[in-house]
């Protein structure tokens, strides 16, 4: 079964955690009294970059800016679909300046960037999934932003309500395993996903059950280990080592778990996906 999973080369954007710290608390994971080991964070981040490149993926970097400790969480800066960039307007005032260097980088690379009118935190809450975009709300990104994203990309946006503050972004509770472009991928048009049902409202759980009847369901234990803050290339799943049960499920479905330890970033409520922005040049 493993051989049927086909990886696709991806282009990722990351930001070195040179200035990473927990200087404020804007989610339940953050505590200003909990010290951060910056050297360990740098080593873990570099291991992630090296792992992506070892699997054939392209990795670009945005220079970190002093005073912006969360810039390492590049996923929050934008969402890119079909070569078009929808930027971010962060909920927390402390993070709003991060949009400037990321948008400048995209423009330098030749992309046209749309700056949102409503609070929107990029791939933190916007997860492209083949024919549609799954969109989280409840803690950060607003429903007005969901409508704005749909108008900008011309892609159906499916709103999902998050109800557990430990899963304040959609990318902490759900990730795409494959987007449906592989003919052998299961699912209803949007490929397949893994998610933790308890992170969502009852109606949103029902939506996910209808769209993804074959989804991989994670336990709360694996979700709290940042197992769902993962990145998949269609075959390899870059996953937190502590999410052992989820990794076993993925292996049983023919995916190849690739453990990468980003535990130092858990102190700020982030993990592998939070540190990884994907540039999608073409629309699925």
Supply the residues annotated as catalytic: 169, 274
Residue 154, token pair as written in the block: 């011309």
Alpha carbons 94 and 85: distance in angstroms, whole number: 22
Strand (E) or helix (H) holding 145? helix 143-153
3-state helix, strand, coil in the chain (%, to 5): 35, 20, 45
User: Number of helices (H) and strands (E), helices first, in the chain?
Assistant: 6, 15
| 165, 28 contact by CB (below 8 A) | yes
Report which DSSP code applies to 263: G
Alpha carbons 93 and 70: distance in angstroms, whole number: 12
Alpha carbons 254 and 232: distance in angstroms, whole number: 12
């Amino acid at each position: 079964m493993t051989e049927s999973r086909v990886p696709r080369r991806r282009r990722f954007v990351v930001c070195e955690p040179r200035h990473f710290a927990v200087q404020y608390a804007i989610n339940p994971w953050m505590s200003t009294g909990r010290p951060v080991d910056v050297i360990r964070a740098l080593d873990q981040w570099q291991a992630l970059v090296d792992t992506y490149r070892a699997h054939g993926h392209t990795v670009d970097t945005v220079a970190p800016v002093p005073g912006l400790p969360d810039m390492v969480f590049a996923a929050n800066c934008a969402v890119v679909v079909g070569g078009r960039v929808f930027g971010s307007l962060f909920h927390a005032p402390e993070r709003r300046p991060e949009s400037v260097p990321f948008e400048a980088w995209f423009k330098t690379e030749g992309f046209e960037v749309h700056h949102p009118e409503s609070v929107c935190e990029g791939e933190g809450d916007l997860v492209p999934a083949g024919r549609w975009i799954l969109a989280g709300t409840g803690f950060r990104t607003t429903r007005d932003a969901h409508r704005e994203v749909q108008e900008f990309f011309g892609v159906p946006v499916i709103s999902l309500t998050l109800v557990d503050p430990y899963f304040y972004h959609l990318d902490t509770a759900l990730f795409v395993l494959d987007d449906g472009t592989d003919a052998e991928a299961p699912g209803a048009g949007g490929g397949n996903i893994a998610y933790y049902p308890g992170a969502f409202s009852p109606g949103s759980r029902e939506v996910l059950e209808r769209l993804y009847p074959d989804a991989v369901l994670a336990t709360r234990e694996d979700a709290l280990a940042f197992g769902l803050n993962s990145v998949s290339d269609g075959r390899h799943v870059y996953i937190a080592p502590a999410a052992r049960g989820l990794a076993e499920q993925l292996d049983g479905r023919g995916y190849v778990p690739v453990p990468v330890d980003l535990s130092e970033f858990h102190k700020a409520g982030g993990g592998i996906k939070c540190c990884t922005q994907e540039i999608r040049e073409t629309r699925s």
